[in-house]
Amino acid sequence: MAIAEDIQPIAGLFPLHLYSEAEKKAVGAPELELNLLIDTPHRTVTGYAQVTQSTAMPILCISHVSGNVIYEAVMGPDAKIRLDLAGYPSVCWPTHNGAAPAFPRNFSATVLLDDDWGEGEVIFQYHTQPGAWMEERQMIYRESGIRMHPPLAAAG
């Protein structure tokens, strides 16, 4: 796979809000929401990921994510934009309490988008509360509004 240098990317810093859908739309199937800030000059991405489902335990995983933006040329004329994301639990640690503890990764994803950033495919893994890693492969789409928010800091 070659890196495409001739793709004309959107330049600058911009928000990107993506959501995934399970193919069969099964009740309780996990869905992914990504609320990202894309920095194309530095080819980086940061934001929040949230994995939810419509049944018991509706929020499965919330992560602060960061990663790289990679412009790829695949076999044939279609170019893809790849986002490689790694996520960790969001923790609001008071500054006067010293160094925050290290937390293990709880989310990772590879997002392949069309060259207009509009839709594509995502393969994501998330760590559930009982301790298992789950993997999903779904279609992903851009949305115009923000449906999720970063976790709030604990009071006190």
Domain boundaries, the chain: 2-91+101-143
Predicted TM-score (pTM) of this structure: 0.79
The per-residue pLDDT for 113 is 92
Question: Which CATH code for domain 2-91+101-143?
Answer: 2.40.160
Task: Please provide the size of the chain in residues.
Answer: 156
More confident residue, 121 or 29: 121
User: Tokens at residue 23, please?
Assistant: 């193919």
Q: Which of 59, 69, 54, 91 is nearest to 16 (CA)?
A: 69
Tens of pLDDT, residue by residue over 8-62, are 446 788 999 999 987 776 777 899 999 999 998 999 999 999 998 877 778 888 9
In whole angstroms, give the CA distance from residue 154 to residue 111.
31
